[in-house]
Every structure is written in C-alpha cells, then in structure tokens.
C-alpha cells in the first residue's frame, strides 16, 4: 500500500464569472473583494483597457475592462456588472487590480484532473488563459492574472 493513498488529492477553488457567454475562473485566494459597478476616475495616457482608478479605503486601485483586455466585444454595464478586486504579483511585490466582469457565477472546486492546457494554435500566446477546466459539460477558461497583467505593471506602479 502506497503512502500516497493517505494524502488527500490537491484541489483548487476558483471564483467563476462571465463575460458574455464565456465562463472564466480565477484562484479564489487572489480575490480581495467583489464590488458592485461604480464609476471610476479616468487617467490620461493609459491603455484603452484601463478604465481608470478607484479609491478603495485609501488605496488607489487600477480598474481594467477585462473584455477590452482580452479583445472581446464591449458591452454596457448592467445590474449584474461587478468589479472583482484581485491581488496580482507585480515585480517583487503585490498590487491590487480591479477587473470589470459581466457577472459573478460561483465558487467551484477543481481537481488536478479537471485542468488542461489550452490547446496550441489558438492564436496569441495564451499568456492570459494558459489552462482551462472542464466541470461536467462546462468549460471554464482559467485566467493567469499575473501573466495577463504583466504588461500593465506600469499602470500599477504609476497609480
């Protein structure tokens, strides 16, 4: 009998959310808070996907339009539009970013067997979505927020 039998299988919890019909997920341990949609203060000379900044209890947090960042068609904010505030590794430190999404779905448990690499040849570098998960018939695109926002480090450092 192997000693591996006594070790519980590693699992990961993710927060799932929607952009249009697509379901995305991020590591739940990175989520600081989920806020209702509110107007942000725009900052000149920032990339088009950076909507601006929000004052969160004294901290200035850059707010990213995730649809624009991922090259998806834009959409108007609705009653379910939220800002997910996440902690991102930036250089040697950490920084909070807000991602605007259409709606939060739920928290899901993933087993290692649920996770697959995004197939090669899909276009782009798959830096933003290097893996995906299958839960039953659902396909969840797993965001690598550190990899995705690496280009936005200058935004975080300037904020």
pLDDT in tens, 66-95: 998 888 888 888 899 999 999 988 777 888
Query: Residue 148 — φ and ψ, nearest 5°?
Result: -65, -40
Residue 148 C-beta-side C-alpha neighbours within 13 Å: 24
How many other C-beta atoms can be found within 10 angstroms of the C-beta atom of residue 88?
22
Q: How far apart are the C-alpha atoms of 24 and 129, rounded to whole Å?
A: 9
Q: Which residue has the tokens 């480090």?
A: 153
Predicted confidence at residue 7, as pLDDT, reads 47
pLDDT tens track for 14-50: 999 999 999 999 999 999 999 999 889 999 988 888 9
Neighbour-count burial for 12-26, b at 16+ CB within 10 Å, e otherwise: bebbbbebeeebbbb
The predicted model gives 49-57 an average pLDDT of 92
Superfamily of 14-158 according to CATH: CheA-289, Domain 4 (2.40.50.180)
pLDDT tens track for 89-143: 877 788 899 999 999 999 999 988 888 888 776 555 566 787 888 888 889 999 8
DSSP 68-117: HHTTPPP----TT-EEEEEEEEETTEEEEEEEEESEEEEEEEE-GGGEEE
End-to-end alpha-carbon separation of the chain, Å?
Answer: 55
């Amino acid at each position: 009998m192997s000693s591996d039998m006594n070790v519980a299988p590693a699992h990961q919890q993710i927060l799932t959310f929607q952009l249009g019909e697509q379901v995305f997920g991020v590591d739940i341990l990175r989520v600081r808070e989920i806020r209702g949609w509110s107007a942000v203060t725009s900052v000149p000379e920032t990339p088009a996907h950076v909507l601006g900044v929000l004052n969160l209890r004294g901290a200035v947090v850059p707010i990213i339009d995730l649809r624009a960042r991922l090259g998806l068609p834009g959409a108007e904010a609705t009653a379910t539009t939220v800002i997910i505030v996440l902690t991102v590794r930036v250089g040697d430190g950490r920084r909070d970013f807000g991602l605007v999404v259409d709606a939060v779905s739920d928290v899901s448990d993933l087993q290692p067997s649920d996770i697959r690499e995004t197939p090669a040849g899909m276009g782009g570098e798959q830096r933003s979505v290097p893996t995906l998960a299958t839960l039953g018939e659902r396909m969840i695109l797993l965001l690598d927020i550190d990899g995705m926002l690496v280009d936005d480090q200058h935004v975080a450092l300037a904020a």
